[in-house]
A and B are shown apart, each in its own frame.
Chain A
Amino acid sequence: MAMVLNEEAGMLKDAARGFLADSAPLAQLRNLRDTDNADGFDRKTWAAMAEMGWTSVLVPEDQGGVEMGYVAAGVIAEEMGRTLTASPFLSTAVMGATALSRFGSDGQKGEWLPRIAAGEAITAIAVDEGRKHNPSSVTTTAERSGNGFKLNGKKSFVAEGHVADMMIVSARTAGSENEAEGISLFLVPMDAAGLAVDRIKTVDSRNFATVTLDGVDVTADAVLGEVDGGLAALEAVLDAGRAGLSAEMSGSAQQCLESTVGYLKERKQFGQIIGTFQALQHRAAHLYSEVELGKSIVLKALQTLDAAPEHAAMMVSAAKAKLGQVAQLAAQEGVQMHGGMGMTDEFDIGFFMKRIRVAEALYGDANYHAEKFARMRQY
């Protein structure tokens, strides 16, 4: 597959950039933060995204979607990374849609996918329990109870958990804490009895949730995929999210670079534009090279997800690891080269540094994915 955006994706990119710049620029995130908005995102913007088909980008046509694929989803995520637009796009349109369309029963698909496509349902993924991402480390339990299961445990760092209608929860139906076997996935409505949600404000001015499951009853129909064999499905869903996050980080890194280069062309010291200093030029040029490599590996991962999702894990881990490094470099160099202004809340560059930190940690940081890559390479 040629590594260029086709016409459709190119048009989507232009449309997304225009819409986000006009309707959801970084000022929107500032405002959400400053007003302590309870949702952590703008509902009107989300409705407009649904109107444009963004929420249905991975939903099959027979479920009311436009199913444009992962490259298209990545294009949207990348543009959101430029404006740091807060929305449930990743949790719902990317991961929720992937989970249901690839692993859902007909009934589950029919119940959720049309609503996701229409922007009427928000989904969350509840996977982690500890400080570091580790999908096979599960102590939340799902015990058989009558025709269904009873869930007990605690999930942390659940993106959009405070606004979701439904949450995909990993829980142990067999095996011990770190075993790959014995993990099952459940679709849990957020209004289920015994479920408590704590909203957490994070450093990036966005919201996550800690979710406590205290004897939550679900029916057998709530199982997504196979009982005891849920880890493979979970990894596939996570990979979709990781690729989307990598695309977002790529957009953020590009924006950091552009803002920084712009600043280098304006700021004067010692009677000169500081962009004339070779010490800064070489750092900016190195950063440009890294950002270009980041764009390439993200596109490769997204294309692999479209062409052969069952073989995408290695490329996705490579992309998440590379973008973790590239985007952090972009943020750090950006703040440094903005000088004192880079330390102010007034300038946007600090927002990028904070969001990139969160995106880097979410669903596995660069070290996690480098380790995973090495294991897949069998060394």
Chain B
Amino acid sequence: MSDLESFREEVRDWLDANCPAEMRRPMASENDAVWGGKKTKYSEPQQLWLDRMASKGWTVPEWPTEYGGGGLDKAEAKVLRQEMQRIKARSPLQSFGIWMLGPALLKYGTHEQKLEHLPKIARGEIRWAQGYSEPNAGSDLAALMTKCEDKGDHYLINGQKIWTSYADQADWIFALVRTDFEAKKHEGISFILVDMDQPGVTTKPIKLISGKSPFCETFFDDARAEKHNVVGELNKGWTVAKYLLTHEREMIGGMGSGAMRPAGDVAVQMLGKDEHGRLADPLLRTDIVRLEIDGLAFMSTMERVSDEAKAGQGMGANSSVLKYYGTELNKRRLELMMDSVGQDGLEWGVDDDVAANWLRTKGNSIEGGTSEVQLNIISKRILELPSA
């Protein structure tokens, strides 16, 4: 038996013994997701599953073991994913710490910073928020003005962030702040980690068109940050920010591509078939088949970009293609879902309604850099078209 096959057996046995039955059922709604953190209490099976997975380092299988990871190589991590899928095990932990801050710390953090923060992310102890956008710094992110002053033994932060996802439930925030107001706009920015459990940090949820409030405004009024919490060099935060954004783009671009039921199946269930066995609405059928084919091509592209990166052939700007196409595709998918559910889908305020999802997807092509910004990046970095 190959090493990988014996690893597979080991994983299978361990999952069988350790994944609670409740964690092998599909999530009924997004409220069932575990995000960790100090502010939310989870059910016993949720907490047990998280703790057990974290003890193996398998909430972050590919991170080094000294930082709370599983130390697995890509092939082993794939085996773990496959074995989890096999028993329909839920992801034990969703986290911006895992998806965004972790990769940035692994690349740019000091050993001490990694030791301090990564294990807590891996165990789900600390929930992180992302403080990037400001009211006057959206697509033009580098125009941010949140002020960070050197006060000798600490930093003092004043300003406002917006579109901070779940900031009202987060414990810490990684933020972009201006540390040099004289320098050019990209060169005076630093990447800093701030404990939100202090009077100088307050949050206020923003109600969206979907009726939900996944985003907040976050205010810094004389908030304090320790000096060792700047990641990367002072005033070089833009480099860290861009690296992290490529991870965010891939995350947003990939949302909704895998787990959702195929649009064709939903439409058949809702609308039925005609006497030839075709979906009863012929024009909708045309739109759906084109969506599904584009979806296959997109999934193949995600796979190819990842395999090319492993083979050392990838290029970073491809994350813009995935972000752009994936989010536009997701919007198309939800428009067709709305077409499929028809008038029944217009009911407001029911649990997990299609309408709320439909409205939520409209933000996909705005957050993490709008579609237009992604097209700018593609034309500049990949096509190398000149600037005006």
Interface residues of A (CB under 8 A from B): 2-4, 261, 264-265, 272-273, 275-278, 281-282, 284-286, 288-289, 292-297, 299-300, 315, 318, 321-322, 325, 370-371, 373-375, 377-379
Once A288-B321, A293-B325, A322-B293 are accepted as A-B contacts, the answer to whether A3 and B307 lie under 8 Å apart by CB is yes
Q: Is B376 an interface residue (CB 8 A)?
A: yes
Q: Is B378 a contact of A379 with CB atoms below 8 Å?
A: no
Q: Is B120 an interface residue (CB 8 A)?
A: no
Q: Is B285 a contact of A276 with CB atoms below 8 Å?
A: no
| A282 contact from B288, B321, B372, B388, Cβ within 8 A | B372
| B311 contact from A2, A264, A272, A281, Cβ within 8 A | A2
Q: Is A296 a contact of B303 with CB atoms below 8 Å?
A: yes
What residues of chain A lie closer than 8 Å to B278, measured between beta carbons? Answer: 374-375, 379
| B307 contact from A4, A289, A292, A325, Cβ within 8 A | A4
* B contact patch SS: helix
Binds A, one of B87-95, B145-153, B294-302: B294-302
Q: Is B301 a contact of A276 with CB atoms below 8 Å?
A: no
* Residue of B300, B304, B376 contacting most chain A CB atoms (<10 Å): B300
Q: Which residue of B lies closest to A301 (CB)?
A: B300
Q: A375–B378 Cα gap in the complex (Å)?
A: 36
Q: Is A289 a contact of B311 with CB atoms below 8 Å?
A: no
Residues 373 to 388 of chain B near chain A (Cβ within 8 Å): 374-376, 378-379, 382-388
The smallest C-beta distance from A243 to any residue of chain B, in angstroms, reads 14
Q: A375–B267 Cα gap in the complex (Å)?
A: 14
Q: Is B387 a contact of A288 with CB atoms below 8 Å?
A: no
> Chain B interface: which size bin?
35 or more
What residues of chain B lie closer than 8 Å to A325, measured between beta carbons? Answer: 290
Q: Is B2 an interface residue (CB 8 A)?
A: no
| B288 contact from A2, A281, A379, Cβ within 8 A | A379
Q: Is A293 a contact of B379 with CB atoms below 8 Å?
A: no
Q: Is A265 a contact of B386 with CB atoms below 8 Å?
A: yes
Q: Is A265 a contact of B385 with CB atoms below 8 Å?
A: yes
Q: Which residue of A lies closest to B387 (CB)?
A: A276
Q: Is B297 a contact of A296 with CB atoms below 8 Å?
A: yes
Q: Is B289 an interface residue (CB 8 A)?
A: yes
The smallest C-beta distance from B68 to any residue of chain A, in angstroms, reads 29
The smallest C-beta distance from A308 to any residue of chain B, in angstroms, reads 16
Once A288-B382, A373-B289 are accepted as A-B contacts, the answer to whether A300 and B300 lie under 8 Å apart by CB is yes
Residues 327 to 366 of chain B near chain A (Cβ within 8 Å): none
| A3 contact from B273, B303, B378, B383, Cβ within 8 A | B303
Q: Is B310 an interface residue (CB 8 A)?
A: yes
Once A275-B386, A289-B321, A299-B300 are accepted as A-B contacts, the answer to whether A281 and B289 lie under 8 Å apart by CB is no
Q: Is B285 a contact of A296 with CB atoms below 8 Å?
A: no
Q: Is A3 a contact of B372 with CB atoms below 8 Å?
A: no
Q: Is B6 an interface residue (CB 8 A)?
A: no
The smallest C-beta distance from B279 to any residue of chain A, in angstroms, reads 5
Q: Is B324 an interface residue (CB 8 A)?
A: yes
What residues of chain B lie closer than 8 Å to A289, measured between beta carbons? Answer: 321, 324-325, 378
What residues of chain B lie closer than 8 Å to A273, measured between beta carbons? Answer: 386
Q: Is A276 a contact of B383 with CB atoms below 8 Å?
A: no
Q: Is A318 a contact of B297 with CB atoms below 8 Å?
A: yes
What residues of chain B lie closer than 8 Å to A374, measured between beta carbons? Answer: 264, 278-279, 285, 288-289
Q: Is B385 a contact of A370 with CB atoms below 8 Å?
A: no
Q: A288–B376 Cα gap in the complex (Å)?
A: 12
What residues of chain B lie closer than 8 Å to A292, measured between beta carbons? Answer: 301, 318, 321
Interface 0/1 of B245-288, CB less than 8 Å to A: 00000000000000000101101100001000111000001101
| A297 contact from B288, B290, B296, B375, Cβ within 8 A | B296
* Residue of B293, B310, B311, B384 contacting most chain A CB atoms (<10 Å): B293
The smallest C-beta distance from A275 to any residue of chain B, in angstroms, reads 4
Q: Is B83 an interface residue (CB 8 A)?
A: no
Q: Is B388 a contact of A321 with CB atoms below 8 Å?
A: no
Residue pairs across A and B with Cβ atoms less than 8 A apart, 20 shown, are A4-B304, A4-B307, A261-B383, A273-B386, A276-B388, A278-B388, A284-B379, A285-B379, A293-B294, A296-B297, A296-B298, A296-B304, A318-B293, A318-B296, A321-B290, A322-B293, A373-B289, A374-B279, A374-B288, A378-B277
Q: Which residue of A lies closest to B304 (CB)?
A: A3
For the complex of A and B, 9 pairs with smallest distance between CB atoms: A296-B300, A285-B378, A281-B379, A3-B304, A297-B297, A296-B301, A293-B297, A285-B375, A276-B388
What residues of chain A lie closer than 8 Å to B301, measured between beta carbons? Answer: 292-293, 295-296
Q: Is B9 an interface residue (CB 8 A)?
A: no
The smallest C-beta distance from B73 to any residue of chain A, in angstroms, reads 14
Interface 0/1 of B178-192, CB less than 8 Å to A: 000000000000000
Q: Is B292 an interface residue (CB 8 A)?
A: yes
Q: A68–B268 Cα gap in the complex (Å)?
A: 41
Q: Is B233 an interface residue (CB 8 A)?
A: no
Q: Is A377 a contact of B303 with CB atoms below 8 Å?
A: no
